[in-house]
Chain A
Amino acid sequence: MTSAPSPNPMIQFSEVSKVYPGGIEALNQLTFQIDKGEMVFLAGHSGAGKSTLLKLIAGIERANRGTVTVNGQNLSKMHPTELAYLRQHIGLIFQDHKILFDRTVHENVLLPLEIIGFDRREAAKRVRAALDKVGLLNKEKMNPVRLSGGEQQRLCIARAVVHRPAILLADEPTGNLDRAYAQDIMELFKSFHQVGVTIVISAHDEILMREYGQRTIRLSQGKLG
Chain B
Amino acid sequence: MQRFFYLHLRAASQALRTLLQQPLSSLLGLAMLGLAVALPVCLYLLVSSAQQWSQGLTVKPEITVFMELNAERTDVVVVDEHLRQHKLIADYEFISREQALKVLLEKQNLQDIGQALGGNPLPDAFIIRPKELTPEQMEQLAVELSHLPLVENTQFDAGWARKLAQILAVLQHFTLVLGASLAVTLLLVTHNMIRMQILAHRDAIEVSKLIGAPNPFIRRPFLYLAVWQGGIAAALGWGLAQAFIATLNPLIADFAALYHSQAELHSLNLEESALLVVSIIGLSCLTAAWTCTRLLRKLEPR
Contact = CB atoms under 8 A, between A and B. Distances in A.
Interface of A: 58, 60, 80-81, 84-90, 92, 94, 98, 100, 102-103, 111-112, 114-117, 119, 159-160
Contact of B204 (A87, A88, A100, A117): A100
Which of A100, A115, A119 gathers the greatest number of chain B CB atoms within 10 Å?
A115
Nearest to A108: B207
Interface residues of B, number: 21
Given A60-B301, A117-B6, A85 B207 contact: no
A80 B6 CA distance: 24
B3 A117 contact: yes
A119 B6 contact: yes
A60 B204 contact: no
Contact of B212 (A84, A102, A103): A84
5 contacts: A60-B210, A85-B214, A87-B210, A98-B206, A100-B207
Contact of B217 (A60, A100, A115): A115
A112 B211 CA distance: 7
Contacts of B211: 87-88, 92, 111-112, 115, 159-160
Give 5 nearest A-B pairs by CB, closest first.
A87-B212, A88-B212, A84-B214, A117-B3, A115-B213
A121 B82 CA distance: 90
A21 to B, nearest CB: 12
A47 B10 CA distance: 42
B18 interface: no
A115 B208 contact: yes
B10 A84 contact: no
A85 B211 CA distance: 9
A87 B300 CA distance: 14
Nearest to A79: B214
Contact of B209 (A84, A94, A103): A84
Nearest to B215: A81
Nearest to B2: A119
B302 interface: yes
